[in-house]
Chains A and B, each alone.
Chain A
């Protein structure tokens, strides 16, 4: 009862359901050789299987493209290329012809040899390719045997457990039957983890021997927020989690009821609520909550989710898709913020002692102009549709701002020379997340169109607290008066210069801070799309007058404890009838 397993959470949400343990049968090759007179027949069998496998892969790729765009579909492209590699295939054909091996043995041997060689390599990418090959070999042998239909299927709603899952297995599952995914292997950026996030089902990876030590039909609770799995939960546990899921559903429903209402205070002050996204597919969630636009499109995901840097076309396509879907609402595309906690191991082979203050974001871009120019060109091209704005991260003064703008200008010049359609006058903004930039807002405002406050970094830099360090993590205090004063000064200086100021850190989606921030003068917020209905309900329940009063009161307090206590108690009490306190 209540046995717990812990892994790495890769896709959020909670589900209760029966386990389905997928243990693909071990591949046993029985028919090793054939009679010499059957060679022609065996070769035909091989070619037929090859054609069928190719066709099915093409369909899988198209299906993947439909539901999740080109980046996922690319996973299947390498497999297709392999099925067209006649040098590789001839090895199998020759083996059938000259040594009378059966088609399945020929496939098995060739694949096995190739996998062996790839597994010797030290690069992660090569080892992942080996797992793609294993998948391909199995499929091909399945076709030779005429067992192609025997693929993974869920006949009832289940939580799927397996040692590992190939993207092709996952992508064909009946979505309504997939409650959760629990894998023994894999990591945050494995193909299956990415797919699970796209599907929006709770998922945990790195569970070691979970799938072999448990059985199909067992009741489990999967918590994709914490990475915890509870096997055979007792009645109180089930009740507790059922309530959680139920409460969450109710709460979503209540909040969605105000979807089409504007975020406007009772006395008529319009507040703009924008969404933060990482993936083009999240546009759906943005539209679901009817956000006023996208205030932060984090592009580093495009990089982290695949083995290589997306080229200009791929990036253009991603940006274009989002811009077009949101038009005429604004979409702020932030250039790569690689480094810090978003480590691309291959780009940054050196472990930095202090990565948050190290080689990251605009610093990487300005050192790797090849990467930066490609991205700028893609953004300028995508800006021909919709309402695209560009934003630079980690700017710390006028020098890097001007250097970044110069690159944008040059990218546009080169596009112009080549006669490629683009927009050269797209609005340019910067993240204000380094204290030095916060102190130069008046200057920055003269050379940009807008600013967005990144409260996460601003807090840790202002307080000199690395929040990923457990020894000081409790000193990470976004309601520290110093941080609030900085935010207020940024908002006011921006307003005085008549430039739009937005806030896109976690503070923006924290409902106890909403009235305070409005009172300080903030009018533009950007947050996870899931939080927009909640913040909107707070906006609609207050008045500008009240917000100003609260800001005045808070800014007179002196300690973090005092401010937090006030917000947690007074604000909660004031808005107690709103459905915003779920889960807090």
Chain B
């Protein structure tokens, strides 16, 4: 299991479009994906869940991955978040 923290850097936070990109990544993997923010925990495959985290710029999220391709998925997620969801 991987459990690591990421920081949302894109200016508008994790709104619909970035959330959609995250969900698509999660949906393409075989691992379980959980995302936590300040005690709230949502499934990383749910766009509504992700949006409801209301993760704005600067927010810290804990990503928990569990499954056969968790390493690979972590790399991808890290890249997506690091690239500010290709928005900026």
B-contacting residues of A (Cβ < 8 Å)?
Answer: 74, 77-78, 81-82, 85-88, 114, 117-118, 120-123, 125-126, 129, 132, 307-309, 311, 346-347, 368, 370-371
Contact = CB atoms under 8 A, between A and B. Distances in A.
Interface stretch (B7-15, B62-70, B71-79): B7-15
B54 A88 contact: no
A117 B52 CA distance: 6
Given A114-B52, A117-B52, A129-B51, A311 B12 contact: no
B47 A85 contact: yes
Interface in B11-70: 11-13, 15-18, 20, 23, 42-43, 45-49, 51-52, 54, 56-57
Given A81-B16, A308-B10, A311-B86, A126 B54 contact: yes
Contacts of B10: 308
Contacts, number: 80
Q: Among A77, A123, A311, which residue has the most Cβ atoms of chain B within 10 A?
A: A123
27 contacts: A77-B20, A78-B16, A81-B23, A82-B47, A82-B48, A85-B46, A86-B46, A87-B45, A87-B46, A87-B49, A117-B54, A118-B51, A122-B56, A123-B54, A123-B56, A126-B51, A126-B56, A308-B10, A308-B12, A308-B18, A309-B87, A309-B88, A311-B87, A346-B11, A347-B11, A370-B88, A371-B88
Contacts of B18: 308
B1 to A, nearest CB: 21
Contacts of A307: 12, 15, 17
Given A123-B54, A126-B15, A308-B12, 14 more contacts: A87-B42, A88-B47, A114-B51, A117-B54, A125-B13, A126-B54, A129-B16, A129-B51, A132-B16, A307-B15, A307-B17, A309-B87, A311-B86, A370-B88
Contacts of A311: 86-87
Contacts of A82: 47-48
Q: Closest 3 CB pairs between A and B?
A: A87-B46, A78-B16, A88-B48
Contact of A81 (B20, B43, B57): B20
A74 B47 CA distance: 16
A125 B47 contact: no
Contacts of B49: 85, 87-88
Nearest to A313: B86
A78 B11 CA distance: 18
B88 A88 contact: no
B17 A308 contact: yes
Given A85-B47, A87-B48, A125 B12 contact: yes
Contacts of A123: 12-13, 15, 54, 56
A261 B76 CA distance: 58
Contacts of B12: 123, 125, 307-308, 346
A166 B77 CA distance: 33
B88 A85 contact: no
**Residue of B18, B43, B85, B88 with most partner-chain A CB within 10 A:** B88
A77 B13 CA distance: 18
A235 to B, nearest CB: 50
A81 B47 contact: yes
A306 to B, nearest CB: 9
A370 B83 CA distance: 9
B43 A87 contact: yes
B27 to A, nearest CB: 10
A86 B17 CA distance: 17
A379 to B, nearest CB: 18
A85 B48 contact: yes
A169 B57 CA distance: 31
B51 to A, nearest CB: 7
Nearest to B44: A87
Given A87-B46, A371-B88, A78 B13 contact: no
Contacts of B56: 121-123, 126
A114 B48 CA distance: 8
